[in-house]
Chain A
Amino acid sequence: MNETILVVDDNIDNLDLTQILLEEQQFDVHTAESAETALKMSETLRPRLILVDIQLPRMDGLELTRRLRQNPSLKDVIIVALSAYAMKGDEDHAREAGCDGYITKPINTRTFASIIRGYLEDLRATPEVSGSQTLDDIPAR
Chain B
Amino acid sequence: MNTKTSTSVASDLDARVQLPNQTIHQLEPEATGAAKIQAFCQADAVVFDRQSHRPNRVERGRHSNYSGRPVRECVLQSELFFEICRILGEEGQFQMAWAGNVDIDTGVVTPVASYPRSEEYLVGLHITIHDAPAGVGPVGTAIRDNRHVLVNDLLTDARMHPWQERAQRRGYRSVGAFPIMVHCHRHGAIAIYAREKDFFDPENVALLEELAANVSFALERMYTERMHRRAVQELDQFFALSLDLLCICSLEGRAFRLNSAWEKTLGFNAAELASHPWVEFVHPEDRPRAEAAWQKLKLGQQIEQLEFRVLSKSGSYRWLIGSATPSLALGVAFAAVRDITERKSLEEQLKNQNLALEEQNRRLNEASRLKTEFLANMSHELRSPLNGILGFTELLYDGKLGPIPERPREYVGRVHSSAMHLLELINGVLDLSKVEVGHLEFFPERVSVTDIIEEVMGILGSIAAGKKIQMQTEIDETVDNVLTDPGRLKQILHNYLSNALKFTNPEGRVVVRLKREGSSEFRLEISDTGIGIAQKDLARLFVEFQQLDATKAKLYPGTGLGLALTKRIVEGQGGRVGVESEVGKGSTFFAVLPRGPEVRKSDGPIARVLVVEDGRATSLLLSRVLEGADYQVETAGTGREAVEKCRRADFDAITLDLVLSDGSGLKALREIRSLPHFRSTPVIVISALDQRDVAVTDMVQAFLTKPINPNQLFETLEQVGVPARLTVGAK
Chain A: residues with CB nearer than 8 A to chain B?
11, 13-14, 17, 20-21, 24, 55, 83-87, 90, 105-110, 135-136, 138-141
Q: Is the CB of B394 within 8 A of A140?
A: no
B424 contacts which chain A residues (CB < 8 A)?
138, 140-141
Q: Is the CB of A109 within 8 A of B379?
A: no
B558 contacts which chain A residues (CB < 8 A)?
141
Cα of A86 to Cα of B383 in the assembled complex, Å: 9
Chain B residue nearest in CB terms to A105? B387
Cβ of B559 under 8 Å from chain A: yes
Q: Is the CB of A87 within 8 A of B376?
A: yes
B391 contacts which chain A residues (CB < 8 A)?
14, 17, 21, 106-107, 109
Question: Would you give 19 A-B contacts (Cβ < 8 Å), ordered by A?
Answer: A14-B388, A17-B391, A17-B395, A84-B379, A84-B380, A84-B387, A85-B380, A86-B379, A87-B375, A105-B384, A106-B391, A135-B434, A139-B494, A139-B498, A140-B491, A140-B565, A141-B495, A141-B498, A141-B558
Q: Is the CB of A86 within 8 A of B427?
A: yes
Cα of A111 to Cα of B563 in the assembled complex, Å: 31
Q: Is the CB of A138 within 8 A of B495?
A: no
Between A21, A83, A107, A141, the greatest number of chain B beta carbons within 10 A of the residue's beta carbon is seen for A141
Q: Is the CB of A136 within 8 A of B379?
A: no
Cβ of B214 under 8 Å from chain A: no
B572 contacts which chain A residues (CB < 8 A)?
none
**B contact patch SS:** helix
Closest CB in chain A relative to B571 CB, distance in Å: 15
Q: Is the CB of A141 within 8 A of B384?
A: no
Q: Is the CB of A109 within 8 A of B495?
A: no
Interface residues on B, range: 35 or more
Mark interface residues in B374-390 (1 if CB within 8 Å of A CB, else 0). Answer: 01100111011111111
Cα of A13 to Cα of B390 in the assembled complex, Å: 11
What 18 new A-B contacts, CB under 8 Å, besides A85-B379, A106-B423, A107-B387?
Answer: A11-B387, A11-B388, A13-B387, A20-B395, A24-B400, A84-B383, A87-B379, A105-B387, A106-B391, A108-B394, A110-B398, A135-B430, A136-B431, A139-B495, A140-B432, A140-B495, A140-B565, A141-B558
B:393-448 near A, CB below 8 Å: 394-395, 398, 400-401, 423-424, 427-428, 430-432, 434
A139 contacts which chain B residues (CB < 8 A)?
491, 494-495, 498, 562
Closest CB in chain A relative to B703 CB, distance in Å: 29
Q: Is the CB of A109 within 8 A of B431?
A: no
Chain A residue nearest in CB terms to B460? A139
User: Which 8 pairs of residues, A with B, have the shortest CB-CB distance?
Assistant: A141-B562, A13-B388, A106-B387, A105-B387, A84-B383, A17-B391, A139-B494, A109-B394
Cα of A140 to Cα of B386 in the assembled complex, Å: 17
Cα of A86 to Cα of B391 in the assembled complex, Å: 18
Cβ of B142 under 8 Å from chain A: no
Cα of A135 to Cα of B487 in the assembled complex, Å: 12
Q: Is the CB of A106 within 8 A of B379?
A: no
Cα of A86 to Cα of B434 in the assembled complex, Å: 12
Between B380, B430, B502, the greatest number of chain A beta carbons within 10 A of the residue's beta carbon is seen for B380
Q: Is the CB of B394 within 8 A of A110?
A: yes
B398 contacts which chain A residues (CB < 8 A)?
109-110
Cα of A85 to Cα of B375 in the assembled complex, Å: 10
Q: Is the CB of A140 within 8 A of B562?
A: yes
Between B375, B383, B387, the greatest number of chain A beta carbons within 10 A of the residue's beta carbon is seen for B387
Cα of A13 to Cα of B504 in the assembled complex, Å: 40
Q: Is the CB of A55 within 8 A of B427?
A: no
Cα of A105 to Cα of B392 in the assembled complex, Å: 13
Q: Is the CB of B431 within 8 A of A135?
A: yes
Closest CB in chain A relative to B547 CB, distance in Å: 10
Q: Is the CB of A141 within 8 A of B561?
A: yes
Chain A residue nearest in CB terms to B397? A109
Cα of A81 to Cα of B558 in the assembled complex, Å: 31
Cβ of B302 under 8 Å from chain A: no
Cα of A105 to Cα of B386 in the assembled complex, Å: 8
